[in-house]
Structure 1
Amino acid sequence: MHTFRPSVLGRLTLAALLTTLMLTNFAAAAEEKRPPNIVFFLVDDLGWTDIGVYGSSFYQTPNVDHLAATGMRFTNAYAACQVCSPTRASIMTGKYPQRVGITDYIGAAQPEGWKRNTPLLPAPYNTKLDLEEKTLAESLKERGYATFFAGKWHLGNQGNWPEDQGFDVNMGGIDRGGPYGGKKYFSPYGNPRLPDGPEGEHLPDRLASETVKFIEAHKDEPFLAYLSFYSVHTPLMAREDLKQKYEDIKSRIRIAGPIWGEEGKSKVRLVQEHAVYAGMVEAMDAAVGKVLDALDRLKLTDNTVVIFTSDNGGLATSEGHPTSNLPLRGGKGWMYEGGIREPLIVRYPPLTKAGSESDAIVTSPDFLPTLLALVDKPGPAIDTDGVSIVPALEGKPLDRGPIFWHYPHYGNQGGQPTAAVREGDWKLIEWYEDGKVELFNLVDDIGEKHDLADAQPEKRKELHQKLRQWRKQVGAILPTANPNYKAGK
């Protein structure tokens, strides 16, 4: 019987082989444990029904529709406010806007020097996102992420721009609420944080291209790519070819019923048929597609969380009235569903089932805790008002309490100082001018046509009390009486 005894060379070869196998296994394990990349699409002023998969039959959005077909579509997602800056601050911090003091769009009139003849003076608000606030980008940098921002910031002036709040790269994020420099949506942009491209270059495409460049450069490490579109905010401007495309479509359709209605003293659009706005929506959709295609090409899709949402409802009651939010009531600037309910699509292949749908109630502060839960890496604790929606992404019930709003201002779109709470099927709105309270069952009445405040006094009392308690908890500032108000004028 012979005993096998490996030679010295054989033993070294075997050891080398075992070492190689161990390193390969360690590398594979490290690859498996690599935290997910994050791509966050935030569209400005996009309404709940402005996307094909959410019911639009006029705007064409094949790329966002494909994202929904490969991810999860939420039907009860909300912005933290009916105007932009508060929602943006909420997404960045995971807090209600009242906690950070940004309760109106930055640039709105403050109570001192108020010139409108209104019964109330609006509450004062913070004009920047304080550097002391921990942002989503800062939390992810602490966990080893490369961070990128493109597009609209609108959370403060120089010194409070994205690069001051945790983003390694800032392409176009400044204090402005729209693309108001240069040729606006076309180069030259006149934006100090976005070098001009070739004459006539289109802004949404440029922002997508910059996002793709960042992803390509950081494909081998975890990254946050935050593409915050200036689209589809005013000024209403589209590429000429897209404008003509929708003018041609519009000429071929027959519209049944009225195009215009009324919301309070405001005219409200009832039909989606604005050709320029449609072109803006399609250009935004194409930009989304450019980024999603890059994820596929770089084989990053399976380990990337993609979030697509908006900062407030569609612009239906002023400034060109470019879209309709029906069946929702009202629009941007209003506390009705048209002002706050948003499209939300989340795709993360390890969790979300392709083509799935969730009726979980989600709000802006939820994004930060959700993303940190998915990253699942040690880091400093952060206080948030949101909850992780990971259970909903897994197709499970999301057990959460009520969500709240507080807007102590007069909007440019006709809305007045209001507060609201939604819990389960029920939503209560309080109007600060006269103390009126409205109550709606949103499951039975998504259009908020039937006020049940008198018919359901116990539910009204319960929700109103919760709203008052929440206001105290977050330190909400109320509007005050306007000493210069002249009734009847």
Structure 2
Amino acid sequence: MFRKCLLSLVFCASVLPAAERPNVVFFLVDDLGQRDLGCYGSSFYETPNIDRLAKEGARFTDAYAACPVCSPTRAAIQTGRWPQRTGITDYIGAPLKPEGWKRNTRLLPAPYSDRLAHEEVTLGELMKSAGYATFFGGKWHLGPEGFWPEDQGYDVNMGGIDRGGPYGRGKYFVPYDNPRLPDGPPGEHLPDRLATEAGKFIEAHKAQPFFVCFSFYSVHTPLQSRPDLQAKYEAKRQKLGLEPKFGREEPRDVRLVQEHAVYAGMVEAMDAAVGKVLSKLEQLGLDKNTLVFFTSDNGGLSTSEGSPTSNLPLRGGKGWLYEGGIREPLIVRWPGVVKPGTAVATPVCSPDYFATLADITGTKPTSKIDGVSLRPVLEGKELPERPLFWHYPHYGNQGGAPGAAMRKGDWKLIQWSEQERPELFNLKIDLSETKDLSKQEPERVKAMLAELQAWQKDVGALLPTPNPAYDPSKPDGRAAPPANAGKKAGKKKVQ
């Protein structure tokens, strides 16, 4: 009851009339790289439904996740706030405190929060306050029971629990062993089931505004495809003469070619689930009054746990502060507002979705949010230039290291924590981040670093600390994945 009373204090009563509020469907895919879609350049994976969505809406070329791993980005999407403000700065399941760290690394990662606090205002609560029926389906990964979607503003929760992946007995197939998703018939496939549940909710609430947050478990590990799709892509790989190819992103190997048949099948099944929901909107005549977002929570997995995809020409992947770890697909369709086939180069980031939906629904949260509304961009206008920031004081499971980053205009600065070493790139001429210009541009580095540090202070960013147990004569803890990477290990899942 206290929480419900509290919510009445964090919104201003300026909600638009129901007739002026679009329905909203928000697709969030797990571990999907920007280059994993046909509309972003993939020639191996097939994504016809998402490609069509891009043709009917706006495709953002410079959209970013708030973090190179999932839970912090998910918290940023749900709250409109930088992960550092919520305290969720690493994937939930990583060692919580520095004293629990066992890997041989130069630094000890900073502590982080393992739940999205009830005091945070979520997208579910924002939309509910605007009179929307709210649905959450799929991966939540923002805390233990008591902090699940139904406790954070969502009327219906289908599958959102503490886990970072589908770790039931059947993995992506029945049995799911998920307390918020009853098993379907034998052979049922998780992305299709979640699409069915989203469609049922839409049909049941077609006479009122609805908000559907479809948060895929796909395409996260475990790597598991429908057998027919795996066979399809094995044949396609053979026909095209594709072979695995790896390069080096110290201290890990990185996949250079998209040819993983199982992963390709997972991508296509995800695309089919998106298509199923979009078809339901069309069948019910709701597509013209529904705003659709499609994005991901971090870059594609390219350096660990099977390294199923390549993010080229983007450098690195999930767990890294290079573009391959944080640059995301973002497609927005809003009939009558967004011009079909638009390409948008404006840099945007995860907290912006909350601000955008608050603006569109006329709901004004009085709590501090960091995102800016993308409505002007969707209407074909310009946004003032602004810096974007990242702070990841952790070692992920993919070989990346603690650091912070900033993008301002065409310039991107990365400050690595281990040696307090900066790298500077001009993304306009060097999207692959191959030419470090920090030595040639010392004044720019100094200015950007000062701005980054001021932001870190403002958001209360915690820093990694020296590891007194580090032994340089032993293998670096970044070089090999943790012993339990990719395996079921209680609540400590690789996210």
TM-score by length of 2: 0.91
Correspondence 1:131-170 to 2 at 5 A: 131-170=118-157
Structure-2 separation of matches of 1:76 and 1:379: 27
SS of residue in 1 equivalent to 2:391: strand
Instruction: Report Cα offsets for 1:358-401 as digits up to 9, x if no partner.
Output: 0011000000010111112x554232101011111112221141
Instruction: Report Cα offsets for 1:436-485 as digits up to 9, x if no partner.
Output: 10000001000000000011111111111110000000000000111111
Correspondence 1:37-436 to 2 at 5 A: 37-110=23-96, 111-255=98-242, 259-376=245-362, 378=363, 380-436=365-421
Q: Is the contact between residue 385 and residue 409 of structure 2 (CA under 8 Å) also seen in structure 1?
A: no
What is the match of residue 12 of structure 1?
A: none
Structure-2 separation of matches of 1:36 and 1:457: 48
Structure 1 residues 380 and 401 mapped into 2: Cα distance closer, same or farther (>3 Å)?
A: closer
Structure-2 separation of matches of 1:444 and 1:398: 22
Q: Is the contact between residue 147 and residue 168 of structure 1 (CA under 8 Å) also seen in structure 2?
A: yes
**TM-fit CA distance, 1:350:** 2.4
Instruction: Report Cα offsets for 1:414-438 as digits up to 9, x if no partner.
Output: 0000100001100000000000100
Structure-2 separation of matches of 1:74 and 1:398: 14
Structure-2 separation of matches of 1:30 and 1:415: 47
Q: Is the contact between residue 306 and residue 348 of structure 1 (CA under 8 Å) also seen in structure 2?
A: yes
**TM-fit CA distance, 1:57:** 0.1
User: CA RMSD for the aligned pairs?
Assistant: 1.2
* One-letter amino acid of the structure 2 residue matched with residue 466 of structure 1: E
The ranges of structure 1 where at least 4 consecutive aligned residues each deviate by more than 4 angstroms after the TM superposition are none
Structure-2 separation of matches of 1:95 and 1:380: 12
Instruction: Report Cα offsets for 1:276-325 as digits up to 9, x if no partner.
Output: 00000000000000000111111111111100000000000010010000
**TM-fit CA distance, 1:273:** 0.1
* One-letter amino acid of the structure 1 residue matched with residue 418 of structure 2: E
**TM-fit CA distance, 1:164:** 0.2
Correspondence 1:446-461 to 2 at 5 A: 446-461=431-446
Structure-2 separation of matches of 1:368 and 1:459: 32
Structure-1 separation of matches of 2:20 and 2:248: 53
* One-letter amino acid of the structure 1 residue matched with residue 391 of structure 2: H
Structure-2 separation of matches of 1:458 and 1:305: 43
* One-letter amino acid of the structure 2 residue matched with residue 133 of structure 1: E
Structure-2 separation of matches of 1:250 and 1:215: 38
What is the match of residue 424 of structure 2?
A: 439
Structure-2 separation of matches of 1:400 and 1:96: 18
Instruction: Report Cα offsets for 1:185-244 as digits up to 9, x if no partner.
Output: 001110000000001100000000000000000011011000000000000000000000
Structure-2 separation of matches of 1:488 and 1:304: 58
Q: Which of the pair has more CA radius of gyration?
A: 1
SS of residue in 2 equivalent to 1:178: coil
Structure-2 separation of matches of 1:383 and 1:431: 29
SS of residue in 2 equivalent to 1:360: coil
* One-letter amino acid of the structure 2 residue matched with residue 369 of structure 1: A
Q: Is the contact between residue 404 and residue 416 of structure 2 (CA under 8 Å) also seen in structure 1?
A: yes
TM-score by length of 1: 0.92
SS of residue in 2 equivalent to 1:73: strand
Q: Is the contact between residue 387 and residue 400 of structure 1 (CA under 8 Å) also seen in structure 2?
A: no
Structure 1 residues 455 and 254 mapped into 2: Cα distance closer, same or farther (>3 Å)?
A: same
SS of residue in 2 equivalent to 1:49: helix
SS of residue in 2 equivalent to 1:305: strand
Instruction: Report Cα offsets for 1:134-154 as digits up to 9, x if no partner.
Output: 111101111111000000000
**TM-fit CA distance, 1:182:** 2.1
Q: Is the contact between residue 358 and residue 395 of structure 1 (CA under 8 Å) also seen in structure 2?
A: no
* One-letter amino acid of the structure 1 residue matched with residue 370 of structure 2: D
Structure-1 separation of matches of 2:273 and 2:193: 8
Structure 1: segments with no counterpart, 5+ residues: 1-28
Structure-1 separation of matches of 2:193 and 2:378: 31
Structure 2: segments with no counterpart, 5+ residues: 1-15, 475-495
